[in-house]
Amino acid sequence: MRRLVGTAAVLTMLAATVSAQPAPDRTMPGHAMDGMKGGPMEAQPGPMGAHRMPMEAAPMHRMMERQNHGTGCGMEEMGSAPTQSGQSAFGTVQEIIRILEADPKTDWSKVNLDGLRQHLIDMDEVTLRADAKVQQIDGGIQVAVTGQGRTLEAIRRMVPADAHHLNGQNGWTVRTSDLPDGVTLIATSTDPKQATIIRGLGFIGVLASGSYHQEHHLMMAKGEAM
């Protein structure tokens, strides 16, 4: 009888101990993810043992941890490094600088990036501020390009020079003549197809044709004559 009473007392004490244990904390990240995911789990060690994290979340977790400690992905790898210069002429100069720096034959005593800057200002004036009155003629177009002040200076420097480079391209005939407040640009071709292309390009399209501008910019930056 005493043995039965002692056994009952022990069982009562064990039951009380079990009921007093705290319930699992389902607000912990590992438990929350256990409840949401049903796939394979990866154990992550913690101060009280190991809690579980979904395998899918582990790579991102490790990447962020490496970034925070400066031993993993940098801004470039994360795709968050800026790439635009913010201004097209500024970007053109940056591109030229990279080319000059990569060329061991660059003679830095002749480099003239300020001269290139003045040319880029001329391009901006002619492209955005000059008044261009386009008239279709036999074989192409005739354009009265006019302006005042700094724009007029840019017209007189840039348009005749561009016409010189364009003359003969694709069988075109390109020439200019002076006006009191600008120049007249005439671009024509005896090929009906090219004449149609010239008309479609218009004033700014004709000036922008070809790839000599890029070569011109590099030679100008190097202090070389075309």
Q: pLDDT tens digit string along 92-109?
A: 999 999 999 999 999 999
Predicted local distance difference test score (pLDDT) of residue 9 = 55
* CA distance linking residue 63 with residue 50, whole number of Å: 20
Please report the DSSP string for 145-196 in residue order.
Answer: EE--HHHHHHHHHHHHHHHHHHTTGGG-EEEEEEETTEEEEEEE-SSHHHHH
* CA distance linking residue 178 with residue 176, whole number of Å: 7
Asked whether the predicted pLDDT for residue 205 surpasses 80, the reply is yes
**Mean pLDDT of the 105-118 span:** 96
For the entire predicted model, the pTM comes to 0.64
| Domain boundaries along the sequence of the chain | 1-82, 88-221
**Mean pLDDT of the 61-78 span:** 49
Predicted local distance difference test score (pLDDT) of residue 212 = 85
**pLDDT tier, 20 (very low <50, low <70, confident <90, very high otherwise):** low
Tell me the range of 16-25, 34-43, 66-75, 134-143 where mean pLDDT is highest: 134-143
Buried b / exposed e over 112-138, threshold 16 CB at 10 Å, is: eeeebbebbebbebbeeebebebeeee
3-state secondary structure of 120: helix
% of the chain at pLDDT higher than 70 = 65
**Mean pLDDT of the 28-44 span:** 45
Q: pLDDT tens digit string along 117-154?
A: 999 999 999 999 999 999 999 999 999 999 999 999 99
Predicted local distance difference test score (pLDDT) of residue 210 = 85
**Mean pLDDT of the 184-212 span:** 96
Predicted local distance difference test score (pLDDT) of residue 51 = 46
**Mean pLDDT of the 160-176 span:** 96
% of the chain at pLDDT higher than 90 = 59
Closest CA to 115 of 223, 203, 226: 223
Q: Are 190 and 171 in contact (CB under 8 A)?
A: yes
Residues with Cβ within 8 Å of residue 100, at least 6 apart in sequence:
106, 108, 111, 221, 222
